[in-house]
Structure 1
Amino acid sequence: MRIPLLLLFILAMTSCGKKDVQKLSPADVTKGVVTASSAQPTRSEALLAMQCYNNAFYNQYGTYGPSYKAYYYSDVTRTGRMDFWRQAEAIEALIDAYTANNDADLRNKMVYLYNGMRDAYGLLWSANIYNDDVIWGALMCIRAFQITNDGGMKDMAKNNFDMVWNRAWDTNLGGGLWWTTANNTKNACVNAPAAICAMYLYQATGDVSYRDKAKMIIDWMVSKLYTSSSGEVKGAMNAAGTITEGARTYTQGTFIGACSMLHSSYPSGNYKSMAAKAMDYTKANMCNSQGLLPDEYDCDDCQGFKAIFARWACKFVRDQGLQSTYGAWLNYNAAEAWAYRNSNGLMWGQWWRRTPDNYVNSFETTCGVAMMNGVWLF
């Protein structure tokens, strides 16, 4: 039975600085928020946003050895589970929230959701023709490993990354990973997250070949998909070498995240400045005049892209100490998302009007959760 949800008004305005309030429960959420507020969401509100998300979509469905297993429903009607890659990204949003809040319930749910992925899809995802899907799943696993130190999570990340590398990397077009096993296009959506995953695998295993692979991937992206004059990260190149997709928030975000991680290993390189250039492009060319990140509703897969941008943009700001440059912009987006939540505390991807009460899906509603928790990294 769902918990009835009540209203909590945002009270304080902050820019980069943040102030905690007492921990809230989903029963503290407010109704009737219709107009945007400039007030920065507190850390407790960020946790509350994740709790509301879980209240709407989380399903624990059985045991997994001594533990449990779970998945996220695809929408508020609870008629079925999220598909593979969106499930992985929803779990990443949960990881974001745990990282910001260190909440034991979120950690447990992360483990149960990971168990649900194993239960539904097995240990090796070679049957999935989409290399980006596999990489999103591997990235989720290695981030979960950082929290739990569970060797099974690390092995799932490593084995699936290795499988994609072996079938998708070649010297056609000078390098890069193919998007699918059809080898028709080389896309940012597989290459940039694969570089992030490889850097995490390097950190987890000490195997420098993963760091080398990450550098190879990003250096290829810089040569083929990155526009040095503007900071735009193109989405894809076909087998003939023609650009077929423009920038998206998640292509910008994952490129930023990969470059930021490479900077720690190659500080004399240009990775940090390229990440900053990609941030600047996103803010100047993809947002509205107030700096609000764009709606991406032209397809179902697009609706959660801003969550991925939020994740890696906020981590970049934290890791590189760029709060004074980008903090207010990211905080503004978090405040707008929360101001337009619905009566159940859910935020869709259109952060300029109220989220509907009657229907939202569980992918679009990761965006606000990731942004609200992401800004608490810095």
Structure 2
Amino acid sequence: MRNSQYLFLLTLTFSACIKKELSRHPGTLSAKSINSNAVAASIVPPSKGEALLAMQCYNNAFYHQYGTYGPSYKAYYYSDVTHTGRMDFWKQAEAIETLIDAYTINNDTDLRNKMVYLYNGMRDAHGLLWSSNIYNDDIIWGALMCIRAFQITNDGGMKDMAKNNFDLVWSRAWDTNLGGGLWWTTANNTKNACVNAPAVICAIYLYQATGDASYRNKAKMIMDWMISKLYVAGTGEVKGAINAAGTITEGARTYTQGTFIGACNLLHSYYPSNNFKAMAVKAMDYTKNSMCNAQGLLPDEYDTEDCQGFKSIFARWACQFVRDQHYQSTYADWLNYNATEAWKYRNSSGLMWAQWWRRTPDNYVNSFETTCGVAMMNGVWLL
């Protein structure tokens, strides 16, 4: 049942990829100064009805259903509001994860159906096994989306798609160079947090779905390697990448922090004596204290289009960690503040770009940057 506040808001609102390796370090990230007070105590986030509305506004702008898929349908998200084409592979997977986040909070049948149709669109566009994609992180993001969709639908095809693609990455990307870790691409030049941390999460979910302990063991192996090479124990920073010569080539990003936090959260249940929860706290604190501005606003990451949706990934895993480990009193106000700021600066279509300190343009936004506010608004309802 939709509440009257939600109906009122709804009425108001509706009158293949080329990547660059990132080289910026956290000191160069932009968290703009804003004319607002510091984070106040007990900040009330946008309502659950508004969180659902934010997802519906996103679907209204970008969702495209384009045909049947057996007895079902298929769909994709456009890359921007001008509908110039579909989102590329990994961004599509992350947009579907944002939809999964919203369904988890709202239990809305339309969102569940769209999730299935978008999954069908991924199968239709990219096939069942993604071995032609040189980016191991792309494949892991796609596998993670599939296993999360399986958790909702219990569709064995989703589970198999996740398993087979995770196995593909493991077989071609894990080796003992640098002591372990997964290579970012098939060129084997760098080992990056953006493939390793989500692979830990994906492997734990595969273990939960299959009962095969080898996935849990692989998750632990990957994480042990990340801690030894990319995690800075003294600060909680999670570096972005290390090259084959052993040199760190990228600093922290919100999604490196977020996926590391998510991986620690899941591993803590199986290895409670391994300090994973404490490391997640350090990573949360680093994000809050060293990457945000004085008011606690998460940074803009706009140096390439690939960066613009990173905050959605942070929101997803940070909020789950806070819920699971009962850190609401420590972090809820900060996360609620970010959700409130994102929604405050939405445009006339209800879309929020990732610069949560000024109004979202009406004329142009892309569908990756606009996942951030939706993920944060729904994520805080886990708290």
Interval of TM-score (by shorter of Structure 1 and Structure 2)? over 0.9
Could you say which residue in structure 2 is the equivalent of 1:330? 335
2:71 corresponds to which residue?
66
Q: CA deviation at 1:27?
A: 3.3
Answer whether contact 1:291 1:329 (CA < 8 A) is retained.
yes
- Structure 1 residue matching 2:321: 3-state secondary structure: helix
- Aligned position for 1:4: none
The aligned length equals: 357
Given that residues 315 and 377 in structure 1 are in contact (C-alpha distance below 8 angstroms), is that contact kept between their aligned partners in structure 2? yes
Match of 2:376 among 354, 371, 378: 371
Alpha-carbon distance, 1:36 to partner:
7.6
Tell me by how many angstroms 1:26 deviates: 3.8
Q: Out of 311, 315, 318, which is 2:316 matched to?
A: 311
Task: Tell me the secondary structure at the aligned position of residue 195 of structure 1.
Answer: helix
Shift in CA distance, 36/141, structure 1 to aligned 2, threshold 3 Å: farther
Equivalent residue, structure 2, for 1:262: 267
Q: How does 1:1-378 map to 2 (within 5 A)?
A: 22-24=5-7, 26-29=10-13, 40-378=45-383
Q: Which moved more, 1:37-46 or 1:179-188?
A: 37-46
Q: Distance in 2 between matches of 1:162 and 1:291?
A: 39
Answer whether contact 2:45 2:380 (CA < 8 A) is retained: no
Distance in 1 of aligned mates of 2:233 and 2:36: 35
Q: Is the 8 A contact 1:253 1:310 kept in 2?
A: yes
Report deviation, 1:30. Answer: 8.0
After TM superposition, give the deviation of residue 79 of structure 1 in Å.
1.3
* TM-aligned CA deviation for residue 28 of structure 1: 3.5
- Tell me if structure 1 keeps the 8 A contact 2:101–2:379: yes
Aligned-pair identity in percent equals 82
The letter of the residue matching 2:228 is S
Which amino acid is the alignment partner of residue 27 of structure 1?
T
CA displacement at 1:22 relative to structure 2 = 4.8
In structure 1, what is the Cα distance between the partners aligned to 2:112 and 2:227?
Answer: 36
Q: Would the aligned equivalents of 1:178 and 1:184 in 2 still touch at CA under 8 Å?
A: yes
TM-score under structure 2 length normalisation: 0.91
Is the contact between residue 45 and residue 377 of structure 2 (CA under 8 Å) also seen in structure 1?
no
Deviations along 1:152-176, one digit per CA (max 9) or x if unpaired, are: 0000000000000000000000000
- Letter of the 1:220 partner, please give it: W
Q: Secondary structure at the match of 2:368?
A: coil
Report which stretch shifted further, 74-83 or 38-47: 38-47
Give the alignment's Cα RMSD to 1 decimal: 1.6
Change (3 A) 1:150 1:119: same
CA contact (8 A) 1:36 1:340 kept: no
Is this contact kept in 2: 1:338–1:347, CA < 8 A? yes
Q: 1:67 to 1:286 in 2, by over 3 A?
A: same
Structure 1 residue 55, shift from structure 2 partner:
0.2
Deviations 1:184-226 (A, max 9, x none): 0000000000000000000000111100000101110000000
SS of the residue corresponding to residue 177 of structure 1 reads coil
Residue 22 of structure 2 corresponds to which residue in structure 1? none
Shift of 1:181: 0.2
**What is the distance in 2 between the residues matched to 1:234 and 1:65?**
44
Query: Could you list the per-position Cα deviations for residues 129-160 of structure 1 after superposition, in whole angstroms to 9, with x for gaps in the alignment?
Result: 00000000000000000000000000000000
Q: TM-score, normalised by structure 1?
A: 0.92
Residue 23 of structure 1, CA deviation: 4.0
Question: In structure 1, what is the equivalent of residue 27 of structure 2?
Answer: none
Residues 26 and 51 in structure 1, CA contact (< 8 A), matched pair in contact too: no
